[in-house]
Structure formats: structure tokens, C-alpha cells
Amino acid sequence: MVSVIMSVYKEPIEWLNQSIDSILNQTFTDFEFIIICDNPQFSEGISLLRNLAEKENRIVLLFNEENIGLTKSLNKGLAIAKGNYIARMDADDISCTIRLEREIEYLENNDTIDICCSNFSYIDENGNVIKNKVVPIKRRSQDYLLWHNVFGHSTVMFRRSVLKARNPLYNESYRCAQDYELWTYLSSCGLLIGFVDNVLLLYRQSTHQISAKKSEEQLHNLETARRCYIYSLLKNNKIIVNDTDVDAKILLERINKAYPDFSDAEKRKMDRIIYILYYTLSCKSPKYVARYFADLRMRKMEHWIRDDVRLLFAPILGEKHKSMIL
């Protein structure tokens, strides 16, 4: 019923053992456990995986001939997954024993939800709980993805139908922050993400993490994904019609023209989108945010949009469109 997908690189053996055991000891037992080893030099880990697979027929092993990274490894696992539901797991985290049971129950009882995740607890390198990560209800909205990634990657489970959204599902140009890019992409496609209101995972914070080692690339990818998300939302709201007419003047005219026809809810949503557009373009400088609130209906955007719209869309559209948006 469920495919659990984990990629292994060179995590400490103790952590890897704990992580695998936490899945094998789930209260829900009808699953396959796809483990991709992305490090052919990780002899100790490979030996452990082979020994476990001999004893446990739910484990399916894939061995990459060379290191290809987390994103591509996850796509390899997804390509062979057979489950009606697919769950993510990282090789240094620990799932609570009821995790799969609760997430399946949530998706079975909420037909409109495509993806679910849960709260989690941070643990240190020794497994001690640092604090609980309980996401406030107001931040569980997908609109909040415009600000931050609030969905813990290792807590996620989604329906098999989500695989139809894109092939491969994970964007392989993102070596890190691939989960945030995926959630924003799926959200822009209209898929719905729900929250299981339980702590179902122990998330390990350590210096071994990709985000810790590649923080600059992580930040760049987060900003790029956010810009793509804003771009797609503007297209969904018909502010942008096609890629070839992303011109500052046209963009401004369409926003102003569309506003009177929006419902109050749509206006609030557009306010949020444009507010975060200001925030992103200004590299978090408060001056643009202040200007936005000083002119809530964007009648005076000309003073910044001619210069700064290039910064928003150029990374998305590529070099060939730069002349159109200068």
C-alpha cells in the first residue's frame, strides 16, 4: 500500500540503523522500503543494507554506480515505487512508530488532499530532543509557502496520483531545496497539502546535512523557487498571459486592470503575492515593503518595477527574454 523512499550517502552507521529500524517497526506494516545507496565507496553502509535486506523482504535496494545526488536518487526510487501512497524518509531522521498509520488515515479521510505532512521534533547528533516543531495553524496554509517551507521533507506522504504532475517529479536542477521547489510547483498546479496534527518524526540537526554544508546554494535555490512560484501565481491570475509579454508596463497595467474584478478574497491573495514580490526583489529591504503599504493598490509601481522586474523574471525566462523586460 505504501512505498517509503530513502536515499543513503554516508550517514553514521548508528543513525542509519536507527532510521531504518524506525520504518521497519511501524505499526502499519503493508509497505515496501526503497533504499537508494548514492555512495559506492560507503562500504560499511552497503554491508549493513545488504544484511538487512537478507532478513527483511520489504527492503528494496538500489545502488548507484556513482554519486548522483539526493534529487536524482529520489527520482530513481519513485520510478520503481509500487505503492498507492509514497512516503519520504531521510537516513538520519527517526520516524515515530505510528507515523505511516496516522498519515494513511489522514489521506483516507480527506479525499481532496493530495499530500500530507506532520509536526516534528528536532534532535541533536546524540538523539536528544532539542525542541518540538509545531507549525501554527495560520502557517499551514499553502499561501505561506510564499514565505517559507513549513513542510518537513521527511514527514511527507503523498498519493500516487501526484506522480502525474511532472516526470521526473523532483526538479533535477535543484541539488538542494528540492523539496521546497516541489511543494511550490505542486501548489501552483492546484494540488492540496494537508497537515497531520501530531509529532510524527524526530528530525536530526547535524553538520552532515546538505543544508548545513551548502547554505549559499540552499538560499539561492529557495529564492529561485519562490520567484518561480510568484511567477506561476501571476500567470494563474492572468496577470501574465505568456512568457513573451512579460514587460514592466504590461505587467503593471494588467494588475491595475484586474483588481476591480477581484473578489475580496482574491484581492487579499493578490496583495500577499505582490507584497512578497516586493520583499523578494528588495532582498528583504523594508523600504519596498513600506512603499507597498503606502500604495496598497499599486498605482505607483513605475518607480521600481522597470528596474526590478528584470531581477524577478530573468532567472526564470532565461537570457533570450531579457531584452523584453529591461
Chain segment 78-89, per-residue pLDDT in tens? 999 999 999 999
Say yes or no to pLDDT of 66 above 90. Answer: yes
Label residues 153-188 b or e (16+ Cβ within 10 Å = b).
Answer: bbbbbbbeebeebeeebbbeebbbbbbbbbbbbbbb
| Domain 2-210 architecture | Alpha-Beta Complex (3.90)
Checking if the pLDDT of 67 tops 80, the result is yes
Give CA–CA dist 206/209, Å, rounded. Answer: 6
- pLDDT value of residue 279: 61
Strand partners, 95: 201
Separation of alpha carbons 116 and 106, rounded Å: 8
pLDDT score of 300? 47
- Residue 200 is classified by DSSP as E
d(CA 130, CA 52): 30
Strand partners, 32: 3
Rounded Cα distance between 167 and 2, Å, is 20
Rounded-to-integer distance, Cα 3 and Cα 85, Å? 6
Mean pLDDT calculated for residue range 25-30: 98
Stronger pLDDT, 184 or 270, i.e. the higher one? 184
The 8-class DSSP code of residue 151 comes to S
Q: Cell 503606502 identifies what position?
A: 294
Hey, what's the torsion of the CAs at 83, 89, 91, 97, to 10 degrees? -100
What is residue 217's predicted lDDT score, i.e. its pLDDT? 85
pLDDT in tens, 117-142: 999 999 999 999 998 888 777 777 77
Work out whether strand 31-37 and strand 59-63 pair parallel, antiparallel, or are unpaired. Answer: parallel
First to last CA, the chain: 52
Higher pLDDT, 324 or 238: 238
Q: What is the DSSP letter of 205?
A: P
Query: Is the confidence at residue 28, as pLDDT, over 50?
Result: yes
Give the tens place of pLDDT for each residue, 248-298: 556 666 766 776 777 877 777 776 776 666 666 554 444 444 444 444 444
Contacts 24+ apart (CB under 8 A), 318-324: 321/243, 321/244, 321/246, 324/244, 324/245, 324/246, 324/247
Beta pairing class for 193-204 and 94-95: antiparallel
Residue 4's pLDDT band, with cuts at 50, 70 and 90, is: very high
Structure-block grid coordinates of residue 220 = 539561492
**Would the pLDDT of 159 be above 80?**
yes
**Letter string b/e over residues 27-43, b meaning 16 or more CB atoms within 10 A of that residue's CB:** ebeebbbbbbbbbeebe
List pLDDT tens digits, range 199-218.
999 999 886 665 555 778 88
Instruction: Return the pLDDT at 320.
Output: 41
**Lowest pLDDT segment from 39-48, 63-72, 146-155, 214-223:** 214-223
Q: Is the pLDDT of residue 111 over 80?
A: yes
Above 70 in pLDDT, residue 323? no
Domain boundaries, the chain: 2-210, 237-325
More confident residue, 32 or 231: 32
Cα atoms in the Cβ-side hemisphere of radius 13 Å centred on 5:
25
Lowest mean pLDDT among 5-9, 13-17, 313-317: 313-317
Rg (CA), the chain: 22
Element (H, E) at 188: helix 178-188
Quote the pLDDT of residue 133.
82
325 pLDDT above the threshold of 50? no
